[in-house]
Structure 1
Amino acid sequence: NLDAKLRESLRWELRSLQRRLNMTFVYVTHDQDEALSLSDWVAVMNAGKVEQAGPPWEIYYHPRTAFLADFVGAVNLVPSTVREVRDGTAVVSVGSTNAPVRVPEGVSLTNGAQVRLCIRPESLALRPMSAGADGQQVLVPGTVARKAFLGDLMRYWVTVDGREWIVDQPDPGAAASFDGAVQIAIRPERIHVIAGDRGA
């Protein structure tokens, strides 16, 4: 069992070797960091079947199912209702407010449909309650339940309507620390809609 730094070094050695040899490698791993960083194409298995296959970025940010979103990395899977659909854009509920989001390719949404919003913790930011939206963000009020210092980031668990959201703030040494009532700032383009899914 290799220590973290040696494992990371060997990961890049393997990637460099693959490029020098110009060969296709099939690499089977349970380590998600390895899968995302080494691969040009990732296939995620669930119960013996391929849940989704595609580029690492697509697997991480645009999962087709709640299982996949929850399996790969930390995620906020937020229940939501579609308020309106028009010209490839849907207005969905986000906490106590609404946000316009892109309808994923191949997905059909109707008014009133129940969906899940896939929002990665690093796509969010915390703001004081006194802050106003900048016109490109949606602000959702919540309360900091707890937080953990993870070195390169501060992870917050924020309660919104009885559900905990994860918010990752980079460079905690330079950033403000939050407690109590806060607002979660969300850019609508960072919200991915998962529809018609059996759930995580």
Structure 2
Amino acid sequence: MSGPAKGAGNTTLHGASLFFYRREKRAKIEKTTQNSKDKKRKAAEQREEKAKKKKDGLDLLERIEEIELEDENVPVYDDCDDIRQKISEFLGEKIVTQAAFLTALGVSANNLHYFMGIRRGARSGAETVVYRKAYTFFEKKRIIEGGAKTKKRLENEERTGPKGFKADPRPTRRLPW
């Protein structure tokens, strides 16, 4: 058999097309009867979960803001790349919105986007306000959660001493002269 119309009179083709048509029709009927109940239930569950997540996120932000460190000018022991990674993970968890996170930090969206967009190395972005404020935020979060210091952070503490990384006031872009 060859050509587009050859085999059209074959009973197997006719039987298979009838079988698949009936199967598809049954699946649609089951889907409409079952989906209306399931959709309502799933939508209600998602709303409850979303509301719970939002409440938990706002509670977390409140607890973080309530913590007062001995010195608000805490020494910074994480480099910029670590802070960028922590911000990405925190926002990726969808616990709080980016707007709520920015409000908690006290910075603008432009500052955050600038800081997150710098991809030149561990110390690039140290001059931004987001770097120090985000470090303080995540330090408070670590204290609340009772998390241990990372190995990299302990190494940085040994290497930099009690003052930590210095906030570099120089811009990350090279000047032409």
**TM-score of the aligned structures, taking structure 1 as reference length:** 0.21
Rg larger in structure: 2
> Which of the two has greater helix per residue?
2
| Bigger fraction of residues in strand | 1
